[in-house]
Amino acid sequence: MNPIYADTTSLRSLPCVECREKHLKCTLDGKKCRRCRARNLPCIGAGRKQPFRMGTSTRLDSQFPETQTWVKTNAREFRLHNGSRGRAKRIETECEADGPASSPQPPLDRVTPSSSPGLAASTPTASSPHIYPSWSELLHHSPDGVPQQEQCGEEDDRITVQEACLLNYYIDELSHWFDTCDHQRRFEFLVPERAMSYPPLLNAIYAVSARHLCRLPRFRTKEGIVYRGQVLHGLTPGTAVEYMLQCMPALRAFHDTFDEDTRTLTLTTAVILRQFEEMEYDNEAGEEEGSAAVDSELLNACYWIALRQEVYDALLKGYLPEMDQNPQSYGNVTPANRMIMHASHVTRWMFEGKSQEGWLTLKEQERSLEEEVATQFKPLMWLPPNREKGEVFPTIWFRSVAAITAMQHMMLARMILIAESPFLAHATDPRLAFREAEGQVRGIVLDICGTSLQEEKTPPVVVNAALAIHLYGHYFIDWYERKALKRVIDRFSDARAWPVPKQLQDYQLSP
């Protein structure tokens, strides 16, 4: 270090070397301090102390023999157990094939075992068999966000920066869409883990994430889609379709597959792709999927999610639900799913002729659910709207998303039974009966919209509110009420990138 003379005011607080060793006060007098000038000593500024000691404290830096064997600190392998069946899968962390080594690049933000649990899948254009990537490869990528071409192994089939972002987006943003009535949150924790060993399921996750990311304006920039600081140059609306097409061979081979675990994963893939289909503007009716009953928690969760999706599609598009409603008994069904099944029964009745006998049966079923089940989902708070403040929707708070989902389906079913009752035309005063029914339906629609305000971050809750407006929004004639419903539709469209039905797109403030 070159000598630094204490000739500036910035070094007055730092003593020279001589004064520091003697623990004396160092007073500057020109270029030297008074003590150094009096003793004719060189006055060298000491500078700031180092916050650490250079070298080892035991002075053993040069005492190791040349034959010393050093322990390698980098992880040699990573073993991950992806389920209760089979042995733990081994993921290599070093390149096993000879070839030029790529220089390490800055790691992808938050690509860790917890956020992106080492899933490997083929790219949309890959056709080679699925293999696992090396753990170190997941943490290195090229500066421009394009994955490097070097590979560890015989196949070029590993997770890229884009796929890591899509997987993380599914875990953080989309998985809870499926787990609204599942307190174990299997689609958040179990599905990404099982997708490691089943590429079609992983591609389905990529497809639904890609479609949603491309539709949210907050992720769009001039460079392209940006997620967590990563510019995804190759992510376009067509990318989601490419990932979806990678799932088709597994779905076509479903009826020829007899392995129960594979059938369960295939059904899970179909459920996620059904969500992908609901996010499509030009939806077409999906093909009927069925399978033998399998004693699997994941399969059971898939069934109830598929049933909710079938209710939504049937009411939105106006067709008879095609899904088999098994189990017929309510014995082993959770309270929330009992209400969803009731909504499915009402939807089927609505498109099967609206018979009087069926209506009476469903009303009796509704009364039974209100007495036995609805009491478990009583709202924590219910406040009527303050009209003086311009409020339209009541304030309704529930204790969980599952309670909101269950009660919204219950209200949808009650609303349909009131509006489509076959006894209205046979009332003593049909005009008065229809008018009273319309008033009750309007109140239920406002209640459903009020519950959606509690959980704005849970898209299915807002979807159910938009579905209620889609069914009976034309019952509203008050300008302020229609304006409030229009705000719900706008929030449903802008915040969640969900396709708005044409009837809602044309919803005007004036009836």
- Sketch the domain layout of the chain as residue ranges: 1-46, 82-283+296-309, 325-505
Distance CA 158, CA 121 (A): 6
Task: Compute the mean pLDDT over every residue in the chain, rounded to the nearest whole number.
Answer: 72
CB within 8 Å of 261: residues ≥ 6 apart: 85
Candidate ranges 25-34, 98-107, 260-269; pick with highest mean pLDDT: 260-269
Helix (H, G, I), strand (E, B) or coil at 270: helix
Our measurement of the distance from residue 153's CA atom to the centroid of its chain's CA atoms, rounded to an integer in Å, reads: 31
Residue 167 has pLDDT above 90, yes or no: no
Candidate ranges 101-115, 251-265, 327-341; pick with highest mean pLDDT: 251-265
- Per-residue confidence at 52, pLDDT binned at 50, 70, 90? low
Residue 159 has pLDDT above 50, yes or no: yes
Question: Parallel, antiparallel, or unpaired: how do β-strands 89-92 and 225-227 relate?
Answer: unpaired
Residue 140 has pLDDT above 70, yes or no: no
> Which of 28-37, 142-151, 348-357 has the least mean pLDDT?
142-151
pLDDT at 499: 64
pLDDT at 358: 92
In the numeric block, which tokens belong to residue 401? Answer: 């998303």
CB within 8 Å of 275: residues ≥ 6 apart: 174, 177, 178, 208, 309
CB within 8 Å of 150: residues ≥ 6 apart: 95, 99, 100, 101, 102
- Per-residue confidence at 49, pLDDT binned at 50, 70, 90? low
Give me the phi and psi of 301, to 5 degrees please.
-65, -40
Residue 312 has pLDDT above 60, yes or no: yes
pLDDT at 433: 92
Tell me the mean pLDDT in the region 146-163. 52
Candidate ranges 104-113, 169-178, 415-424; pick with highest mean pLDDT: 415-424
188-230 pLDDT, tens digit per residue, is: 777 888 887 888 888 888 888 888 888 777 788 888 888 877 8
